[in-house]
Structures are given as structure tokens and as C-alpha cells.
Amino acid sequence: MRDGIYKNLALGRGWKSFLKSCERAKERGDTARTKAVRAVISELGVELNANFVHGLIVRARRGESLLPGFNGIDSELTPRDMGGTNSPFENDVLASAKRFEAQGVRGRAVVDNALNEGIENLKRRRVRHIAQHCLLNGGTRSKPVIDAVRQAISGIDNRSITDQLVQGQRPKLPKVRRDIDLDEDLKKVR
């Protein structure tokens, strides 16, 4: 594991940086959680188009005024019809929105719930992908790394990301705090 499992991870740079932090015991916790948030937001920046979110909000609000049994989101609607890129994330969010509306949820709650569920699904997929990668490359010795990955990703607040997306804002990337001990003894052998 000393070579770095993160180096050949088949995900973007943000996820590699996150995995690198999970490998280092000192960076687990707050640093890893911050990098996890940054990785999720970066992936959403690629996978989610603002026009898609706006189109989903418009259709969900239109469905608010309809009688029960009538849906504002057409069953044949695709992300591309709403100005999206037809990415897997947009397809997942749209499927969730259709399901929530069919269950009787109306208005902005449809969009909020669909985006939250989409982000949660994205997080679960990334945890599985990273865990599988770690086990294939590091074996059972990578269990502390996998635990750190799970803990950091579970600490992400989906609601704050969703609120920023619904308001038409690009989610803010949190800054990674670097703690440098200026009085650290560099001669000490560990």
C-alpha cells in the first residue's frame, strides 16, 4: 500500500485526491471530508446542467397546480428535453422526480427530494467503486482506508448542495485546511 492505491483509481482528479487523503492517517477526518465534498461538487459540475435543474423546477411547479392524478413531469420526458446533457446523474434525478411526483409529492419538494436522492446514489456508487478498487489493489490491508472513505462520504450534507443547486447557484467548493506544525521535530525517526 505504500505506492499509493489512489494513483490508478479510474475516477477524476478530485476522487484521487480524496482517496489519497483517506490513505494518510493524518488527513482522515476533516481533510478527507472536505475533499469528499469537493469531489462530489466537481462531479456534479460535469454531470448536472443548470438548464436541466431549471426545467425540472418549472415542471414541478406546474404540477403543483394540477389535480391529483395529473403529473407536471411527463413520463416520456428526458433530460435532453429540459436542456440537460442526458448524463447518468440527470437520468437518475429525473427518474426520482417522476417517482416522487407519482407518489403525490408536489412542487419544489419533488426537485429537492430527487436531487438529494441523486446525490445519495452518487455517493453510494463512489463508495462501492473506491472500496472495490482498494480491495483489488491493497487487499485486506486497505480496510482502514475503506472505513475512512465511508466515514468521510457519509459526512457530506446533501441538503446544502441541493439548496444551492435549486437556487441556481454553483455549489461552493470548501477550502482544504492545511495544518502545518512549524515546531515539528523533523529529525525524529518514526
CA 137 – CA 62 distance, rounded (Å): 50
Instruction: Decide if 92 contacts 118 (C-beta within 8 A).
Output: yes
CA 74 – CA 51 distance, rounded (Å): 17
Which range has highest mean pLDDT (24-33, 68-77, 123-132, 161-170)? 123-132
Whole-model pTM: value is 0.83
Residue boundaries of the structural domains of the chain = 1-169
Q: Cβ of 128: how many Cβ atoms within 10 Å?
A: 10
pLDDT range class, residue 151, cuts 50, 70, 90: very high
Instruction: Decide if 171 contacts 44 (C-beta within 8 A).
Output: yes
pLDDT tens, residue by residue, 31-70? 899 999 999 999 999 999 999 999 999 888 877 766 566 6
CA 7 – CA 130 distance, rounded (Å): 12
Q: Using alpha carbons, select from 110, 106, 113 the residue that is nearest to residue 66.
A: 106
Q: Using alpha carbons, select from 19, 62, 51 the residue that is nearest to residue 165.
A: 51
The mean pLDDT value for 160-188 works out to 77
pLDDT tens, residue by residue, 76-100? 888 898 888 999 999 999 999 999 9
